[in-house]
Structure 1
Amino acid sequence: MQAARGTPVDHRDDGPGHTNERLLAKPSSWLIFATVAVTMVAIDQVAKVLAVRHLAGEPDREVVGELLKLHLTYNPGAAFSLGTRFTLAITCLACVATLVVLWVSRRAVSKVWAVGLGLLLAGIDGNLVDRMVREPGPFKGHVVDFLMLPNWPVFNVADICINVGVGLILLQVLRGVSLDGSKAEKAATPETQEES
């Protein structure tokens, strides 16, 4: 059986006489999610390699005058250098967050949701790669940050992905658009369907 618009469904028996149908992501939506995630992780990692290669031991470089500078730093904590003494816990939390985003992405039929979740995953895993492979060692590696704005903590491409991804997800939530692309306030009830 197929759901509306040809979306595959997952049938789950919740008890006698009741079947709960949960939408699964269309292959095209999941492909968007995966493509965004993989592409942005790659961009983040390449940017970090270049930052370390060209900025280590060098003075700050202006990109847009005083507005944006390149300043290499290593962050053992979370975003905005918070929790610098909890690197291991932050790494484990990132692993859990990765699994959660992958699980939720299975239901993302909406392309905006797919992009938002893909960016969120890219941000989480872009920094997670650093924590696994960089000094001082696995699960305790320091994240490479190199973008600096006035009066703002130094950040990287992965941090941008997290913020944009969360922004898109919040936008969808505020608009009332669910993972399957339907709007909650316009969802038709069985009574409404019988009348039409």
Structure 2
Amino acid sequence: MTALAVLFGAAIAAYGLDQLSKALVVAHLTEGEAVPVLGTVLQWQFVRNPGAAFSIASGMTWIFTILAAAVITFIVWFARRIRSVAWALVFGLLLGGVLGNLTDRLFREPSFGLGHVIDFIWTPWLLPAIYNLADIAIVSSMVLFMILTIRGIGLDGSRERRSADEAPVAQPAAEA
């Protein structure tokens, strides 16, 4: 499978699952009500988030809309340079997650470009936040990004190798 197919496949899967889950939440949950799924380990709680993570900058929704559009534009422009399936997965998850939350900002209440993101996953023991599948895709892409970067794996899939031969060699001082 080509890297481009993985990138767009991951993006479509992340976006589709995110939007489907949000449609189900809006249709079946009451806003603000906590519904235990696995006791206190996992709960559904439908909230509308006007800001970023932890509802930070809730009055700045339009800025997040512009930033999301810029990220999407960059990924689509950059996609043809990616040759590694792992890196394609990073950018595909990021693209799908950002598209999911951007769709909410563009088409949900209160208005175009200022819409509130639907959040519903609550793990009180893990994070003091309520999030959604788009957020999970974005965070997963960042974790994979860090792993690939630490391992020295390039966008083409090659691995940066450092050997003892490449270490800087001290030059002898000039004799007087």
Alpha-carbon deviations, 1:35-80, whole Å to 9, x = none?
1101110110000010011112573111111011000000010122
Write the distance in 2 (CA, Å) between the matches of 1:78 and 1:122: 17
**1:169 and 2:145 correspond:** yes
Counterpart AA for 1:160: I
Extract unaligned runs of 5+ from structure 2.
164-176
2:112 alignment counterpart: 138
Number of residues of Structure 1 aligned to a counterpart in Structure 2 = 161
**1:149 and 2:149 correspond:** no
Counterpart AA for 1:90: F
Alpha-carbon deviations, 1:119-172, whole Å to 9, x = none?
011111100000010001111000000001115210000000000011111111
Whichever structure has more strand as a proportion of its residues is: 1
Aligned 8 A contact 2:33 2:46 in 1: no
* Shift, 1:29, TM fit: 0.9
**1:59 and 2:33 correspond:** yes
1:70 alignment counterpart: 44
**1:46 and 2:20 correspond:** yes
SS of 1:114's equivalent in the other structure is helix
SS of 1:64's equivalent in the other structure is coil
Aligned 8 A contact 2:50 2:115 in 1: yes
Extract unaligned runs of 5+ from structure 1.
1-26, 188-196
TM-score normalised by structure 1 residue count: 0.78
Show structure 1 runs of 4+ deviating over 4 A.
Answer: none
Write the distance in 1 (CA, Å) between the matches of 2:143 and 2:78: 17
Write the distance in 2 (CA, Å) between the matches of 1:95 and 1:175: 30
SS of 2:81's equivalent in the other structure is coil
Aligned 8 A contact 2:31 2:47 in 1: no
Alpha-carbon deviations, 1:88-129, whole Å to 9, x = none?
011001100111122232211111111111001111110000
Give the one of 97, 105, 108 matched to 2:79. Answer: 105
Counterpart AA for 2:81: R
**What is the aligned-residue RMSD (CA, Å)?**
1.6
SS of 1:40's equivalent in the other structure is helix
SS of 1:42's equivalent in the other structure is helix
SS of 1:177's equivalent in the other structure is coil
1:121 alignment counterpart: 95
**1:96 and 2:96 correspond:** no
**1:29 and 2:20 correspond:** no
SS of 2:131's equivalent in the other structure is coil
